[in-house]
Structure 1
Amino acid sequence: MPDKLVRMLRSRPVEPAGARPVMLALGGDSGSGKTTLAEGLVAAIGPQRCTSVCVDDYHRYDRAERRALALTALRPEANYLDIMEQHLQMLATGQPILKPVYDHGTGTFARPVYVQPREFVIVEGLFPLYSKLSRACFDITVFLDPPEEIRHRWKIVRDTTSRGYTEAEVREELARREPDSAAYIRPQRRYADIVVRFAPAAGRADPPGTPLSAELLLRPTVQHPPLTGILLDDVRAAMNLNIIRDDDGTPVDCLRVHGHATAGEAQLLQKALWDGLAGGRTMPHGLGRLGDGTSSAPLAIAQELLLFHLTQEVYQR
């Protein structure tokens, strides 16, 4: 189905109400934080209202076959991207799919699973923004863009603790993947409505252990929340909004949430932002939760903004 037709179908009123889900894409390289961001959103919305899908399950070959063919999972020809596109179209129009399952622990395929789209569908993976057709399936698109040294550290921790790799094997794989990452994954950044980057605050010498700050580029491809009324003096220590130049030179709003803010400043910001955006709804528990059980205020703020976009899509229909 052409991408323009997908957009037309998704723009039409649907009966019964709610039959077409709100679709969110979380793209980015391996180990960039997509799953952590997605899990917080699912917990906040509630699994009874939200379906989460990983499109890295559409690999064409298992791990041993990729090794034999000298291919990485970041190469388009190593994945069934046409099947992924078909399934995204089906989910976007409220239809169930029989999704393949790739076991990242063993590097082999498992039994497919039946996936029924709920009110919200969160799609994460390497290729959700790769083609016009896949991008046409989404209401909001996000790209996770941490500095490479941080992404490498996250990937090493994840792959050595849950996927059976040694640190040397992960570093070797990162080096082998770099040309494909540069050619096929990082270019998808240009298509995101929001680019999220977790990194140390620039120009500061914060002590070790200081939480990472968040930088969100809010591109004008979607309508973002009115933040100027929220950014009063009592929360400016934790967050600021500026206009900067994007990679292509165009002006773009840049929201920075400071990891070095005190716990009190961060809590005040989270409450002010939620009160200003949520329309009286109760703030959900679990926002900002990291894999090690700790919490990050910048992550929680990023999740709050995405929750705003998801719920606004519902209200605008």
Structure 2
Amino acid sequence: MSSLPNSSYQYENLFKQETKPFLKPDTFLVGVCGGSASGKTSVCREIIRQLKGKKVDIIAQDWFYKPLTKEQRQDSANYNFDSPLAIDLDLLTEKLRELKKGKVVQCPDYDFVTHSRTKKTHQVSGDVILIEGIFTFETKALRDLYDMKIFVDVDSDIRLSRRILRDTSERGRTIKGVIGQYFRFVKPGFENFVAPKRKFADVIILRGSSNIVAINLLLDRIKAELQNHKPQKKNPFIYNRYSKDLEILSIPTFKKVRVKN
């Protein structure tokens, strides 16, 4: 240590600095929950349209449906897609944790005609990520990751009519099959799993995307939250070749250190 000055104390210029003096702000995660065909995706699209200047992306919980086995596919009309067990919530949670760290993630893609995952993936990243689905509030692990939780509340008759239109045009279903599934699985699933999670919402939007007043108030809230979403500061140590020989005694602005003998 002959190159060190002849003092038993040195100050901030001898401090080690971490490679990133400031952490990137966490990605802002917004959970959007509600019954099937309540308009969750439409609400998300309106948020994206109005959040100018921010990179906003969507994750659909439907991407995370578990692929059906050959036997389950042959009897898919009797498979309960409205149970949390049908969704790979662990994988969804894992992807959100990666996003929270500012990473780019690849999410699976699900084919509702073949009831299997495709080779396609969805690349997701951004300043704000909207996660929409019927079970997005299902576990505490998921709820704890969200910076904001929104519940879209729409009358059940409207949701059923929307579901009939969607599933017959996009998923190859018959009207009879959609209605039968609704009363056998969808309605009980909503009452047992989705509706009870309404209590966890920070914001409840009645009537869905048609409620422009509520959405505008929601956007004001999101913008205010983003303003307060600041990076965390790390200790501003400075790299130098003596750092391995220093012992930190305190953490003020100017730090006092003792040179090890």
Give me the TM-score of the superposition, normalised by structure 2: 0.71
Aligned to 1:196: 205
Cα distance, 1:193 vs. partner? 1.0
Is 1:15 aligned to 2:47, yes or no? no
User: Is residue 140–residue 309 contact of structure 1 (8 Å, CA) maintained in 2?
Assistant: no
**In 1: Cα distance, 2:85 partner to 2:112 partner:** 19
Q: Secondary structure at the match of 2:90?
A: helix
Aligned to 1:51: 57
Cα distance, 1:120 vs. partner? 0.8
Is 1:61 aligned to 2:67, yes or no? yes
Cα distance, 1:62 vs. partner? 3.8
Aligned to 1:179: 188
Q: Secondary structure at the match of 2:33?
A: strand
Label 1:101 to 1:46 Cα distance change in 2 as closer, same or farther (>3 A): farther
User: Is residue 205–residue 215 contact of structure 2 (8 Å, CA) maintained in 1?
Assistant: no
The counterpart of 1:143, out of the listed 142, 151, 154, is 151
Q: Secondary structure at the match of 1:102?
A: strand
Bigger CA radius of gyration: 2
Aligned to 1:241: none
The counterpart of 2:213, out of the listed 301, 308, 312, is 301
**In 2: Cα distance, 1:138 partner to 1:127 partner:** 13
1:102-137 deviation line (CA, Å, top 9, x unaligned): 123554322242534211111101211111110011
Q: What is the identity percentage for the equivalent residue pairs of Structure 1 and Structure 2?
A: 24
Segments of 4+ moved more than 4 angstroms? none
Give runs of aligned pairs for residues 1-317 of structure 1, distance below 5 A.
Answer: 15-17=22-24, 19-46=25-52, 49-62=55-68, 65=72, 68=75, 70-104=78-112, 106-177=114-185, 178-198=187-207, 296=210, 298=211, 300-317=212-229
Q: Secondary structure at the match of 2:193?
A: helix
Q: Secondary structure at the match of 2:75?
A: helix
**In 2: Cα distance, 1:309 partner to 1:142 partner:** 11
Cα distance, 1:315 vs. partner? 0.9
**In 1: Cα distance, 2:225 partner to 2:147 partner:** 8
| Superposition CA RMSD, Å | 2.5
**In 2: Cα distance, 1:312 partner to 1:104 partner:** 38
Q: Secondary structure at the match of 1:136?
A: helix
User: Is residue 27–residue 143 contact of structure 1 (8 Å, CA) maintained in 2?
Assistant: yes
Label 1:66 to 1:41 Cα distance change in 2 as closer, same or farther (>3 A): farther
Flag structure 1 segments of 5+ consecutive residues without an equivalent.
1-13, 199-213, 215-287, 289-295
Structure 2 residue identity aligned to 1:315: Q
Give me the TM-score of the superposition, normalised by structure 1: 0.59
Label 1:106 to 1:307 Cα distance change in 2 as closer, same or farther (>3 A): farther
User: Is residue 107–residue 124 contact of structure 2 (8 Å, CA) maintained in 1?
Assistant: no
User: Is residue 91–residue 97 contact of structure 1 (8 Å, CA) maintained in 2?
Assistant: yes
